[in-house]
Amino acid sequence: MQITSINGQLCAQDSATISVTDHGFLYGDGVFEGLRFYKNRILKLSAHMDRLDDSARALAIDLPMSREAIEEALNQVVSESPHEDGYLRLIVTRGEGPLGIDPRQCRTGNVIIISDQLAMVSDEVRKQGARLIIASTRRLAGDQLDSRIKSLNYLNQIMARIEANTAGADEAVVLNQQGFVAEGTADNIFAVKNGCLMTPPVTDGALDGITRGIVLEIADKLSIPVKEHSLTVYDLFTAEECFLSGTGAELIPVREIAGRALNRPDDPMFKKIAGYFEEELGKDTLFH
């Protein structure tokens, strides 16, 4: 049985309810975090809570529970989960209110935690590498909706994902309004060229991903040179390696982009980083 928490109260997922007048449901007015837990421990909980707080502040949402209470609720869900490893979706909504988008009419928000299993791709795709397309759907500009806000409105990403589904691909690369690479629909993107690890800066429309940060930390520990700078599709087409990162995705190698097979020499850098990531999961360093 999957466990859910609503405002700190545990319940079975199939009996969890939320009002149809909650503005998170009506208008996507809310924020969320996706978290992973391994062996009943939540990965980078502090970093996730920092980002949740930043997203809520950007949308002028007051968290209805203290940080300590939310963390306690998350750990409670993990302890009650039937799985040692799993995925958590932490949602904070604006709360119930009358029809109409005015947030001043909403009462106290809701904190919802969902525990489940999540696999972004099949084991076969994870082994062979993902096939990507370049989506025609562009990332919203920073003055429209900053990509660093993890809001409940994911229609921009969903439209790009529909393109990938229609093309029979595993994921889509989303470009920003200037034509630079932003990220995937639900993951950050890395490319390797001449021994250098490259990734778009968050100012180009990339989410400031928690797992993205872990990859950068690992690269530093392994003395791998890193460049955070604007990338075009040319940089992806000519890369020696490419991979995706995300809490839901974890780490996924890429084998093809827009019909172009990558010159993958057995993905040595991806394997080095992914191997180190797996090793670190067995230690305390990634759980603070």
Question: How many angstroms separate the Cα of 199 from the Cα of each of 20, 126, 174, 175, 257?
Answer: 40, 20, 13, 13, 16
Check pLDDT > 90 for residue 266.
Answer: no
Check pLDDT > 90 for residue 18.
Answer: yes
Q: Residue 285's pLDDT is what?
A: 66
Extract long-range pairs of 17-22: CB within 8 Å, 24+ residues apart: 18/93, 18/110, 18/112, 19/96, 21/96, 21/97, 21/98, 21/99, 22/93, 22/94, 22/95, 22/96, 22/97, 22/110
Q: What is the pLDDT of residues 34-45, one digit of tens each?
A: 999 999 999 999
Q: Residue 282's pLDDT is what?
A: 77
Check pLDDT > 70 for residue 203.
Answer: yes
Band of pLDDT at residue 9, cut at 50, 70 and 90: very high
Q: What is the largest CA-CA distance in the chain?
A: 58
Band of pLDDT at residue 205, cut at 50, 70 and 90: very high
Question: Closest by alpha carbon to 74, among 99, 119, 41, 123?
Answer: 41
Residues β-bridged to residue 198: 191, 227
Phi and psi at residue 103, to the nearest 5°:
-70, -15
| Separation between Cα atoms, residue 246 and residue 3, nearest integer Å | 23
Q: Which of 120-129, 181-190, 227-236 has the lowest mean pLDDT?
A: 120-129
Exposure class string for 215-239: b at 16+ Cβ within 10 A, else e: bbebbeeeebeeebeebebebbeeb
Q: Residue 284's pLDDT is what?
A: 67
What average pLDDT score do residues 199-222 get? 95
Q: Residue 119's pLDDT is what?
A: 85
3-state SS, residue 233: helix
Q: What is the pLDDT of residues 79-134, one digit of tens each?
A: 999 999 999 999 999 999 999 999 999 989 999 999 999 888 898 999 999 999 99
**What's the mean pLDDT when you consider all of the chain?**
94
Q: What is the pLDDT of residues 58-75, one digit of tens each?
A: 999 999 999 999 999 999
Q: What is the pLDDT of residues 140-176, one digit of tens each?
A: 998 898 999 999 999 999 999 999 999 999 999 999 9
Check pLDDT > 80 for residue 286.
Answer: no
Q: Residue 288's pLDDT is what?
A: 63
Phi and psi at residue 108, to the nearest 5°:
-55, 140
Band of pLDDT at residue 287, cut at 50, 70 and 90: low
More confident residue, 188 or 14: 188
Q: Residue 21's pLDDT is what?
A: 97
**Structural domains in the chain plus CATH codes:** 3-116 (3.30.470.10), 123-281 (3.20.10.10)
Q: Residue 120's pLDDT is what?
A: 85
What ranges make up the beta strands (E) of the chain? 3-6, 9-12, 30-38, 41-42, 86-93, 111-116, 130-138, 171-175, 181-184, 188-193, 196-199, 226-228, 241-246, 250-257, 260-261
